[in-house]
Structure 1
Amino acid sequence: MINVTHTENQIQNVLNFQDLISTPFQGEINAMCLKRNLIGDFSEIVEKVTLNENMSEISLEELRELQLSEQGQLARKILLNDFKGLKEHGASPTLNIIKCYDRDDAFPFFPTDVYSYHVDRSPIATDTFLCTYYGASSDIIPNSQATQKILIPEIRAELKKLYGESDEKGFESFLSEYFFDLHYQPKPNAQPINLGIGNLWKLAIDHPESKVLPCLHRAPKEKTGENRLMIIC
């Protein structure tokens, strides 16, 4: 029997990791959350890792070799356990320290970077898992509170100019090829939902076997001088 605390809008809260990975999305639910109050000093891990670029992946070997205080060791144990659980589930988790993501300025009227609300897409059935342990955390937004950007008339008109041909079928392929169709614009008075610190999330993505709408999410604007620590797969 699946232990569910309650359902709120598109979000279903679960009580343990096994329920998180095994509970299927259905109906309007396209986000699941394992709420947690984690112990340990995750900031110590962020401070001990040298960041030479805007984003760096931490290997398990590097994580294990860090000289940490007792609180830092508690944080490391949680990271290793989360990584192990996701790996055993068949996912391919990465542990990242992030100063900021690259911005997309190729099309000023239509940025396609992760700071824009977007959905993930895969040719096979899978889900997105993520947890922020330190720093700013991501947002999701109900599908009903956003509009696919390619359906907004003025944006679509600019995209057709960019495409430069009259072939409608080719235009639709162009939108998919350059990932324009993955991005959404919040409606006025939309109410984003912050994913919080320490919570482990499962988000529905766009794939051929999906029975629910993909979850709209975005990366947060980082706080100056505060790098993020997160796991994602």
Structure 2
Amino acid sequence: MSVSSTKNKQVKFFSTFNELVETPFEGIVNAHCLNRNLVGNFEEVVNKLILKEDITTITIEELEQLELSDNGNKAREIIINDYILLANLGASPTINLLKHYERDTHLDFFPLDVYSFHVDSSQIATDTFLCTYYGASSDILPNDAVTQKILIPEIRTKLKELYEVNENEFESFLEEFYFNLHYQANPDAKPINLGLGNLWRLAVKNPQQIVPPCVHRAPKENKNELRLLLIC
């Protein structure tokens, strides 16, 4: 199912980059999407790049040095153009070739990694931009389809037992170690997959944000397949 065919009210779709970045979030809308069907061979780009670490940052110079077919070159031009558009906004985009993110195995009942549904947080007004060009793509959920994990009684009790934090300091402890940013999907929740090629702008938890932050997670990678994405 195309992401644009979903009926979720948290998403607003746009046809131009300027609309995507200039339209303010409002109400329950906390995800803006530039819905695109990109032309180009992104798999060729991925196959020509070198994975040096599990998450390898790719520079514009490295992209420009690749010897590509016409379709591969079209894909490269799209990636570079997206990078420039976001950089010109004052953002700091990163192009990642990704095998997998680091897993958090410290607490089996409460992993603090990006595979868990979570929100991004900042002390300044900012948004998260994300586009997956190749490989598995991320999911988002409506805020009414999740429960903040620290509000789930059994989880809250376990955290108190494990860390023996003074009751008066418990909330500060949860915030300091980012437990407050993670969520559990409700039983009837239906994640929205962000798809390939779409450029997303997701609301971030910050002091100036007037809408609920967008709950999202990184996908489980497809077997023997890398991901290529732009994020900032």
CA distance in structure 2 between the partners assigned to 1:148 and 1:181 by the alignment? 7
1:168 aligns with 2:167: yes
Aligned to 2:192: 193
**What code does the residue aligned with 1:56 have?**
T
Aligned to 2:139: 139
Q: Deviations over 1:147-196 (max 9, x none)?
A: 0000000000011112213x233111111111111000000111000000
Aligned to 2:12: 12
Aligned to 1:229: 228
CA distance in structure 2 between the partners assigned to 1:227 and 1:156 by the alignment? 36
What TM-score do you get using the length of structure 2 for normalisation? Answer: 0.95
Structure 1: state its 5+ residue gaps. 1-5
Kindly indicate whether the alpha-carbon contact (under 8 Å) linking 1:142 and 1:216 is maintained by their aligned counterparts in 2: yes
Aligned to 2:90: 90
**Stretch of structure 1 that moved more, 18-27 or 156-165:** 156-165
SS in 2 for 1:150: helix
CA distance in structure 2 between the partners assigned to 1:45 and 1:172 by the alignment? 46
**What code does the residue aligned with 1:48 have?**
K
SS in 2 for 1:102: coil
What TM-score do you get using the length of structure 1 for normalisation? Answer: 0.95
Residues 1-233 of structure 1 mapped to structure 2, 5 A cutoff: 8-165=8-165, 167-233=166-232
Kindly indicate whether the alpha-carbon contact (under 8 Å) linking 1:163 and 1:174 is maintained by their aligned counterparts in 2: no
CA distance in structure 1 between the partners assigned to 2:90 and 2:84 by the alignment? 10
Kindly indicate whether the alpha-carbon contact (under 8 Å) linking 1:7 and 1:13 is maintained by their aligned counterparts in 2: no
CA distance in structure 2 between the partners assigned to 1:45 and 1:180 by the alignment? 37
CA distance in structure 1 between the partners assigned to 2:93 and 2:55 by the alignment? 15
How many positions carry a matched residue from both structures? 227
Structure 2: state its 5+ residue gaps. 1-5
**What code does the residue aligned with 1:71 have?**
N
CA shift at 1:7, angstroms?
7.9
CA distance in structure 1 between the partners assigned to 2:170 and 2:162 by the alignment? 10
SS in 2 for 1:33: strand
CA distance in structure 2 between the partners assigned to 1:169 and 1:70 by the alignment? 62
Kindly indicate whether the alpha-carbon contact (under 8 Å) linking 1:20 and 1:32 is maintained by their aligned counterparts in 2: yes
SS in 1 for 2:201: strand
CA distance in structure 1 between the partners assigned to 2:177 and 2:163 by the alignment? 11
Over aligned residues, Cα RMSD in angstroms? Answer: 1.2
Aligned to 2:3: none
**What code does the residue aligned with 1:61 have?**
E
CA distance in structure 2 between the partners assigned to 1:121 and 1:7 by the alignment? 27
Which consecutive segments of 4 or more residues in structure 1 shift more than 2 A?
none
Q: Deviations over 1:91-134 (max 9, x none)?
A: 10000011111100111111010000000000000000000000
CA distance in structure 2 between the partners assigned to 1:37 and 1:153 by the alignment? 44
CA distance in structure 1 between the partners assigned to 2:209 and 2:7 by the alignment? 20
Kindly indicate whether the alpha-carbon contact (under 8 Å) linking 1:163 and 1:171 is maintained by their aligned counterparts in 2: no
